[in-house]
Every structure is written in structure tokens, then in C-alpha cells.
Structure 1
Amino acid sequence: LLLALRTVLAAPGGPAAAGPVTSAGASGSGGSTVAASAPAEPGGGPGSAAAHTSAELVSGPSAGSSGTGGLLVHVAGAVGAPGVVSLPEGARVVDAIEAAGGAREDADTDQLNLARPVVDGEQVRVPVVGEVLEAASPGPQASSTASGGSGAGPINVNTATASELEALPGIGPALAERIVSHREANGPFKSLDDLTDVPGIGKAKLEALRTEATV
């Protein structure tokens, strides 16, 4: 009886032979194990994985960097980082100075029109305190304010040549030479009133120069 009981318990159809692999519907336990552990691919095969990878590559850097499409301006003088800066259309002189690191502590920005629109290819020079700009920065809209001539604006008596000073009312060749000699010997004129220190320029002549000259 004991031998018969042991044989029944050890038979393949006994309780020990039952396991979770029976749900696979295969006749052998080995086949059931392979079927259960086979990887499932939701997309339906290797092709779907390749398509997924291609989609990721296409959706990568979709937006390219947009160019400024603006202005190139050379900023020189008393700024933090002199050089060529790129600015958008409609930028002003103050924007150019900020793009070049801002004005230094020794900058004299009162000589500049900070609200003036800049143009492509021009130079903006920021003077230091004590420096006098001889002419506007070169550019399509630049105009000279230091030299004489019709329609050129007031003549700067600190930078104009003797021949340019002759364009002033009542100033002949001899008096123009005296003005140049005086500023070379004593430094630039602080104000137009200092012109009276030049021999030959009195109060009346000074008043005639006020609308035509500047320091």
C-alpha cells in the first residue's frame, strides 16, 4: 500500500505537476514557460521601434536660431567693451552704448544725442570727460559739427582750423590765426566769453559770434 501511494503521488498528473504555466495552452511545461516569457511588442514588431526612433529624431531641434537681421554698429571710446555690436532695427545710441558694456564712469555722454536712431555701419564714439568730439561718427546720417562751412552748423572754436574760423562773421585770416595761437598756448576755450582774451575780439564782435560759434 505504501509503495502504491508513493507511485500515485509521483505521477505526472498529480497535484505537484499543476502550475501557472497551464494557462498558456501548451501541452509541455517547457513550451508554456517560453510562451509566457516571450517579450510583447505593443507596436506590432521591430518596425514600430524603428519608426518610434525616427520620430524622435525628427522632433528634435525643430526651431532654428533666428538671426538678428538688424544693424552692426562700432562703439568706441569710454565704454565697458568697445567693439562692433549687433542691434535690432530702430535701436538708439543709448542701446548701442548698453550693448558695448555701458558707459564708463569717466564718460561724457552729454556730448551725444542718446535718443538718436543709429544706422548700419556707423561708429558711435563716447568721449571721456575733457575730450571734445571733433566730428560726428561716420555714417549715412552723420553730419559734421566741428568744421566750418555753409549749413555745417556752429563752428567749434576749439577744433576748427584757421581757414575754417574765417567763415565766422568778422573773423579774417589774422584774427583766425590769433584764435588758434591762443588756444594752443592756453588750452581750449571754456566758453565763448573767453574769446575776448584774444586781441581784436571785443564785446560787439563776441555777440556776433554767439549764434555762429561754439566751444
Structure 2
Amino acid sequence: MPLWVQLRCGLEPRTLAALTVVLIAASVFAAYHFWMGRPQTVRAPARELPAAMAAPTAAPMPTAAVPTGIPASVRPSGVVVVDVAGKVRRPGIQRLPSGSRVVDALNAAGGSRPGTDTTGLNRARVLADGEQIVVGATASPPVAAAAGNAGSPGGPGGSGSPSGPISLNAATVDQLDTLPGVGPVLAQHIIDYRTRHGGFRSVDELRQVNGIGNRRFTDLRPLVQP
């Protein structure tokens, strides 16, 4: 330090040297903090998409509602195939959605012909897959045959049997009454079973009708169809 400074301040050389060291250390410390506190460029973080957008999953396929009260045999495919025969405009095979009713089958076949009596059809009944719907079938010949057989109740049912198999899903009480061993009461039991279960899916279901035992079922099996 210049001599005049030492004399002016009245400081000893040792004290002045210590003060100089303190000043230098303070300057270095201040410079360090100034350097560390300077503004710095910060890189923006990469944008991350939400998990739902980053890995979209396939939307679940909507399931078709299954109507209640439909026989289990017509549910898996969603389609029932029925044979509409008799006095309709377009007889033949009709494919309809499961849960369809007899009236839907009649409409698909173009409707019944003018003057056709459809009182024997339960048009509100749910269709069963594979059944046949006979529209306007006349029961007069079988009734006459049954009347001829009534005189010999113990005889075999050869002459009293109808000429062809009767559809359990389409026959009326009068038509069922023509079968051997089937009277009006049992015929009504068959109709009631058909209404409760949505139709016959096979002839074997005839065993479950009240009043039909094994022997009577054996006699009726070749004379009926679903």
C-alpha cells in the first residue's frame, strides 16, 4: 500500500493486509453468487399424451338386446326359419328375426288370401325355429273320419287317423281332436302347452303335456309334427 495511505489511515501493515484479504474474499464470493444467479435457458419438457389418447382401445361392440320370453332354441342365431303353407299369397320358407310372431310370418308371406278363415291361428304366438304354419287348413275330412271311428271306441285308429301329420304348432282344437285317443280336453291341454312354451320344437315335447302317457305318445308320434 502507498505510504500515504498507511499514514492517513493509521493502520499497521499487518492489519491492512488482513483487510485486503477479507475484501478480496468478499469480492470472489459476490462474483460467485452473481454468476450462479444469472438467468439460464430452460428446455421445455416433452408433452406427454394422456394414457387414454396414447393407446386407444377398441370400443366394445354393442350387444343386441334379447327379447324376453323367447324359446332358447331361437336365441343364438337371431333368426328363425319357418315354413308358411296353406292359403297365403307367397307360401314357402320365411326367415324372420328371433322373437317374431305368427302375424309377422303371415305378413312376410304376403298375408292370407281373401276369405281365408284364420280364427284357428294364434297370431300372437312367438315363432319357434323350424315350425310349419298352415293357414286355412280345413278340418272337415278328419272330423268325418273321427265320427266314423266314434262307433268303435275300442278299435284301432286306422280309419280315424288324418291322412297326413298334423302340425302341433298350427293345429286347432278340432284338428287335434281327430287324433286317436285325443278328445277335446286333451286337445286343449296341447294348445295350452303350446301357448305357454312358445310352440313345440320337437314331437318329443308331447310327452310333457298333461294326459299323454308313453303308450298314447307312441300312437301319436307318427301322426304329428312340430
TM-score by length of 2: 0.35
Q: Give the number of the structure whose alpha-carbon radius of gyration is greater.
A: 2
Q: Which has the higher contact order (CA 8 A, sep 6+)?
A: 2
